[in-house]
């Protein structure tokens, strides 16, 4: 079945550093979403992308919809301790409203 | 605005017991989704509804699982009988009318079956 692979699986960074993570698919997506999940809570939407090549920012976060429509990238600039959590990419299974979630990137920020 | 509300937040019960998880979607959202999250399998879609009608239940693991949406503001996910392997965090999410709109998640129910 279709899968969304995220890399890296986990990262440890120093506060103030920039972070990059990506998500790849075996097939084309028309929508990419990026979520963050804090411990004990549900995923919270960070950024939504709807067009190939689209670059969207939300504060220190920037996400891009890959031109091939099979990948997406999320960057966090000047990381802070509250950026800690698990970041998920997601997209709807083509032709349906069934969302597939990536395997997640676990981020830890060292003060 | 109130987000998606799930109850209970935690449930611990013995295997064989019936478990009912509840969800109130965001008002005006026509799509409701139930997910299960485990370390091994990540976030898996179990079933989703559109305008209270189940559209796709192919992710429901077994007949022991059932879900209903009697009205636009309430949904239940029931497990009967429960088994230890059902232990997971169950999330409910809702989205606006257009199906490709982002989903908004509740805080989940952490279920432990002993």
Question: Does the distance separating the beta carbons of A33 and B107 come in below 8 Å?
Answer: no
Contacts of B45 in chain A (CB under 8 A): 98-100
Question: Is residue A1 scored above 60 in pLDDT?
Answer: no
Helix (H, G, I), strand (E, B) or coil at B86: helix
Q: Which residue from B minimizes the CA distance to A88?
A: B43
Look at residue B3 and tell me whether its pLDDT is greater than 90: yes
What's the pLDDT tens digit per position in A20-50? Answer: 999 999 888 889 999 999 988 999 999 999 9
Distance of CA A84 to the CA centre of its chain: 14
pLDDT tens string B87-103:
999 999 999 866 567 88
Q: How many CA atoms lie within 13 A of A99 on its CB side?
A: 32
Which of A9, A58, A99 is the best mutation test for B, with the most CBs of B within 10 A?
A: A99
On chain B, the residues whose CB falls within 8 A of the CB of A33 are: 102-103
Q: How far is CA A20 from CA A8, B103, B106, in A?
A: 9, 24, 27
Q: Do B104 and A45 touch (CB under 8 A)?
A: yes
What are B66's two structure tokens?
């059932």
Whether the pLDDT of residue B1 is over 80: the answer is no
Q: Comparing A98 with A54, which gets the higher pLDDT?
A: A54
Q: What is the pLDDT of residue B62?
A: 87
pLDDT in tens, B19-65: 999 999 999 999 999 999 998 888 999 999 999 999 999 999 889 99
The pLDDT of residue A77 is: 97
pLDDT of residue A2: 61
3-class secondary-structure state, position A82: helix
Mind telling me how many Å the CA of B50 is from chain A's nearest CA?
10
- Does B105 contact A88 at a Cβ distance shorter than 8 Å? no
Write b or e for each residue in B56-79: b if 16 or more Cβ atoms lie within 10 A of its Cβ, otherwise e.
Answer: beebbeeeebebebeebeebebeb
Cis geometry, peptide bond prior to residue B81 (ω within 30 degrees of 0): yes
Q: Which residues of A touch B (CB under 8 A)?
A: 30-31, 33, 35, 40-45, 48, 50, 88, 92, 96-104
Residues of A in contact with B47 (CB under 8 A): none
Mean pLDDT in residue range A95-99: 78
Q: Which of B100, B104, B106 to mutate to test the interface with A (most CBs of A within 10 A)?
A: B100
Would the CB atoms of B42 and A42 count as touching at under 8 Å? no
Note every long-range contact of A95-98, with CB atoms under 8 Å and residues 24 or more positions apart, other chains counting: A96/B56, A96/B99, A97/B31, A97/B48, A97/B50, A97/B55, A97/B95, A97/B99, A97/B100, A98/B45, A98/B48, A98/B56, A98/B59
Residue A97: predicted pLDDT: 75
pLDDT beyond 80 at B17: yes
**Across the interface, do A48 and B102 touch by the CB < 8 Å criterion?**
yes
């Amino acid at each position: 079945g279709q899968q969304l692979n995220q890399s890296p699986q986990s990262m440890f960074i120093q506060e103030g550093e920039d972070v990059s993570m990506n998500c790849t698919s075996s097939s084309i997506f028309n929508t990419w979403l990026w979520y963050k999940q804090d411990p004990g809570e549900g995923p919270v939407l960070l950024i939504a992308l709807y067009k190939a090549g689209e670059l969207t920012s939300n504060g220190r976060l920037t996400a891009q919809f890959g031109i091939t429509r099979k990948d997406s990238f999320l960057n966090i600039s000047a990381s802070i301790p509250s950026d800690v959590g698990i970041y998920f990419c997601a997209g709807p299974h083509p032709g349906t409203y069934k969302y597939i979630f990536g395997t997640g990137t676990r981020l830890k920020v060292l003060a | 605005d109130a987000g998606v509300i799930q109850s209970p937040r935690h449930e611990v019960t013995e295997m064989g017991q019936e478990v009912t998880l509840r969800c109130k979607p965001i008002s005006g959202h026509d799509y409701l989704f139930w997910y299960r999250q485990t370390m091994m399998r990540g976030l898996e879609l179990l079933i989703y509804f559109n305008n209270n009608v189940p559209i796709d239940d192919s992710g429901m693991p077994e007949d022991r699982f059932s879900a209903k949406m009697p009205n636009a503001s309430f949904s239940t996910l029931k497990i009967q009988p429960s088994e230890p392997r059902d232990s997971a965090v169950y999330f409910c999410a809702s989205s606006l009318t257009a199906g490709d709109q982002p989903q908004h998640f509740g805080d989940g129910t952490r279920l432990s079956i002993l």
